[in-house]
Structures are given as structure tokens and as C-alpha cells.
Amino acid sequence: MTTTSSSPDADLIEVSLVALAGREADMRALLFDRFFARYPARRDLFLHVSATSVRMTDETLQWMYGLAGDKKWVWAQVCELVFNHRNYDQLHAAEYAAFIDLAIGALRDTIGGWDDATEAAWRRQADALNALVDRAMREWTDAPLAYP
């Protein structure tokens, strides 16, 4: 199996992830405050937001980094996550898209010094991730398993 190493988007994304070091908790607080402001009814689904927000945020960012490098493992993880999240409620593609969008915004506002190329790199990979979430929802809905 051949693997790809890097790409201009992956390089830009990596620089912003490195810049976040030490301020992850601030970024997560901003992200979840904004997410709950947009979807207040979702707040009560979170039993331990300070714990679960770590993986929710990290995986979102890591998937976009993976997609920027054309990593094939991202699809299987997205697929499983979308299926697994039916345990919380019927979540909609628009909520995932909002979370992804707010994650990028919270990262930008936490680290500052963000140029147009970095913004474009994240936005391209957000589009790619949203497309995988949509595809996972479609495929699970068509599958002979109970979804959602």
C-alpha cells in the first residue's frame, strides 16, 4: 500500500495545530460556548463536557488534517462516529457542519495570526469532512441496520 506524506493544506493546518499548544482548553471552551449558544437544546446531552470535549475537538481537527494528507483512515472513523452518535439523539448534518465550522473559528480566534491561505486550507478540508459525514449518514440510512 502506498501512502501520501504531506500537502500544502496539511502543512498549513499543522502549523496552526502546533500554534495551539498550551491553549487547547481555551479553544475548547470557546468552541463549546459557541456551539451551545447556537444549539442550546443540545447542552443537556453532555454529561461531562469538560471530559468529552477533548476527544470531540481533537478528532474533528485531526480528521481535517488527515484529509488534507489524503489519509484513507479518516473515512472509517467518520463512518463509525456517525453511527455511534445515534446513541445521543438523531443528530443532523447541519449540526456536524456547525460544529466543524465553529471548531475552525475557535482555533483561529485562539491562536490569532491566521492568513488567507490558512483559512482556505481549513475550509477546503471542512468541505471534505462534511461530505464524508453526509455520505456516512446516507449509507447508514440505506443499510439494513437501525439508523438513526
Length of the chain: 148
Beta-carbon contacts of 26 under 8 Å, excluding residues fewer than 6 positions away, are 110
Among 10, 12, 32, 60, binds ligand HEM (CB under 6 A): 60
Q: Is 95 in the site for ligand HEM (CB under 6 A)?
A: yes
For residue 40, is the peptide bond before it cis, meaning its omega torsion is within 30 degrees of 0? no
Angle subtended by helix axes 8-19 and 93-111, to nearest 10: 60
146 closest CA partner among 74, 84, 76, 78:
84
Q: Is 24 in the site for ligand HEM (CB under 6 A)?
A: no
**How far is 134 from 96, CA to CA, in rounded Å?**
9
In the region spanning residues 29 to 48, those forming contacts with ligand HEM, defined by CB under 6 A, are 42, 45-48
- Interface map 98-117 toward ligand HEM (x if CB under 6 A): -xx-----------------
Candidates 18-26, 67-75, 92-100, 109-117; binding stretch for ligand HEM (CB under 6 A)? 92-100
Binding stretches for ligand HEM (CB under 6 A): 42, 45-49, 52, 55-56, 59-60, 81, 85, 88, 91, 95-96, 99-100
